[in-house]
A and B are shown apart, each in its own frame.
Chain A
């Protein structure tokens, strides 16, 4: 019988068996040498590492050395971001971690069915959902011993060092994305753009953008530390994220949301593409087993969580959204659900120039193919079938580059109008969502072949709204990128292009 992953808040704010055993296991794993495959730091290094940063923060002691070259090459810095492998790689990573923790729990006399809890910060049923569970903020365990789940490198996003998650940070709009991947070069889809293995750049899927990225940045934050200057929190960087015990609960929730997405609509399918299922093509993903041996897998082995290899289920995969799935679903015939590039994606608007996100953000005008937009927006007022045939529309922020890994921005769009009003009274300006710059520094490393992050926002509802407007201004959209965190003394990020794409059958 599969083990059950439950919400960290399901047993209230106090310590419970699951968390106590988790803490004990983390305590055991942190004592293991960094070169041991089942140690806490080895597992964290698999997500990412930076030797200098690890030494500066005391993660690596001066006398310690990193694992050997072959070990590093095979295991470390292998997290997949900006890619359709983001979800399967992290599922395998979490599963390997969970099995190693379980092994430590059982060795210490704990339950055989221990499972990793998840942090459902988007829950509306749990009043404390957006707070970090107290078991992770208390310096000591109930017996007075130091708490391995606590870290001083979790700075939060407020002046007081608390984690404050807004509605935008935990927004679940990603669940409305009807397609897992839209292919290689344009808009991401739910799970990310098609790619070869991608550690740090490319087209992030909507789930990877929010809530994944936002929660990383909001939890990690950054702070001035004596002798170290400004230090990003563990969760703020690829290179340190896995060192925070909360990271694993965050990713368990992201993993759960993949299951929620699949179950909320039977048309939602994983890619039926050999390059994803059997991929990556040039190497297997590799994880350590509890006995230290290697476990190789491809994406296809990550699609069923209750299969013997993974052996877990979630206690709650119910649909948290009241609205039904997007307007685009009619575009993809049932026989092609899951097929990447079943629909073509065409550029219909661009701002044509790079913008720099200063202290106040930036505003840019996107010139759009007015005819396409007018035809589609009018079609969308003619009922669901016509709306589906009109296709979906996306705004992409292409090639976001910079060094600030700890910023969150909100994206607003406004199309203006010559006159008249919307019958519904809705505003012509719309907040599309938000994004964090988690991983931006790595994504901007040109020498490593990275051309920055590309993020996608669904604007289909905005186009539909235009159809109800009496005199909409359809030849250009005003797009504003507004910072939601204080500016830092780091060169501001740039956005290569702001583009509008249309899914067309």
Chain B
């Protein structure tokens, strides 16, 4: 891996880790805002915002996006860094991340609304969790969900010069976020509905999404066949992992010996 790629991966990992630490330490304050706790429906949106403050709502979602979603951006960021002029690398990556984050702040807030409405309609968090799990199951059995997931892999052409280059990166970020939202919305809603277990649920959902993003696209289809394939592929990767790591260490040893 190229050194500049390693730097990007390192920066993303640090951002995600920081997000999780903040979520862990600030959970009692942040998680109710993210999940819309105490919010009884659309009619009280203004009241909710008035209590928490718009900056707090956006900040809470920003932390959630940083923790859960940034690792999903690694392939796109590496691709962008390779496909723009050296002097445009940082601006283009920042523009892409900005577009992605902006979309998710808005979409994340909509998820909060959806969760609040569901919570208000159902007797307790357990019922909400079951309902969102059902929703998840249905959405994941439809071909459109796989289409959204597949589109996360699409790396769009970028303009090379001037402000247009940043604008195309920004748009690319928004479009990637839109695809990502379609693929991730249902499991994220489920995580929000897990009551006292929101944080571990968010971590599990994030891990699931990261693994899905690593795997290559699948042909969209009806049913849960693609998920069974994903499970088989995870099993295969776990079994074959030692031979990859062994090779990497052998290479590392050879390079040191050569040096």
Q: A185-B79, A278-B244 are contacts. A399–B151 as well, Cβ < 8 Å?
A: no
Q: B152 near A: Cβ within 8 Å?
A: yes
> Inside 8 A of B218's CB, which chain A residues have their CB?
448
CB distance from B132 to the nearest CB of A (A): 26
Q: A197-B216, A278-B247, A281-B240 are contacts. A353–B159 as well, Cβ < 8 Å?
A: yes
Contact B155 A282 (CB under 8 A): no
Contact A449 B229 (CB under 8 A): no
Q: A496-B156, A496-B157 are contacts. A341–B1 as well, Cβ < 8 Å?
A: yes
Contact A272 B251 (CB under 8 A): yes
Contact A69 B85 (CB under 8 A): no
Q: B7 near A: Cβ within 8 Å?
A: no
Q: A341-B2, A352-B164, A451-B156 are contacts. A278–B240 as well, Cβ < 8 Å?
A: yes
A414-457: CB near B (< 8 Å → 1, else 0) gives 00000000000000000000000000000000111111000000
What is the CA–CA distance of A349 and B159 in the complex, to the nearest angstrom? 11
Q: B248 near A: Cβ within 8 Å?
A: yes
Q: A112 near B: Cβ within 8 Å?
A: no
Contact A345 B233 (CB under 8 A): no
Q: Count of A residues near B, CB < 8 Å?
A: 45
Contact A184 B159 (CB under 8 A): no
Among B86, B233, B251, the residue within 8 A (CB) of A274 is: B251
B134-154: CB near A (< 8 Å → 1, else 0) gives 000000000000010111111
What is the CA–CA distance of A341 and B158 in the complex, to the nearest angstrom? 22
Name which residue of chain B comes closest to A281, CB basis.
Answer: B237
What is the CA–CA distance of A197 and B150 in the complex, to the nearest angstrom? 14
The residue among A346, A350, A449, A450 with the most chain B CB atoms within 10 A of its own CB is: A449
CB distance from B123 to the nearest CB of A (A): 39
Q: A447-B151, A451-B154 are contacts. A282–B233 as well, Cβ < 8 Å?
A: yes
> Inside 8 A of A283's CB, which chain B residues have their CB?
232-233, 236
The residue among A278, A282, A346, A398 with the most chain B CB atoms within 10 A of its own CB is: A282
Interface residues of B in 96-114 (CB under 8 A from A): none
What is the CA–CA distance of A69 and B225 in the complex, to the nearest angstrom? 9
> Inside 8 A of A185's CB, which chain B residues have their CB?
78-79, 82-83, 155
Contact B244 A398 (CB under 8 A): no
Chain A residues with a Cβ under 8 A of chain B:
69, 73, 77, 183-186, 195-198, 272, 274-275, 277-278, 281-284, 335, 341, 344-350, 352-354, 367, 369, 398-399, 446-451, 496-497, 499
Q: List 27 A-B contacts (CB under 8 A).
A: A183-B82, A184-B78, A184-B82, A196-B216, A272-B251, A274-B243, A274-B251, A278-B240, A278-B244, A282-B215, A282-B233, A282-B237, A283-B236, A345-B82, A347-B85, A348-B85, A350-B159, A350-B161, A352-B159, A353-B159, A369-B85, A447-B147, A449-B152, A449-B153, A449-B216, A449-B217, A451-B153
| Other contacts beyond A283-B232, A346-B85, A450-B154: 20, CB < 8 A | A183-B2, A185-B155, A186-B83, A196-B215, A197-B216, A278-B247, A281-B244, A283-B236, A341-B1, A345-B82, A347-B82, A348-B85, A349-B160, A354-B157, A398-B157, A447-B150, A448-B218, A449-B151, A449-B152, A499-B160
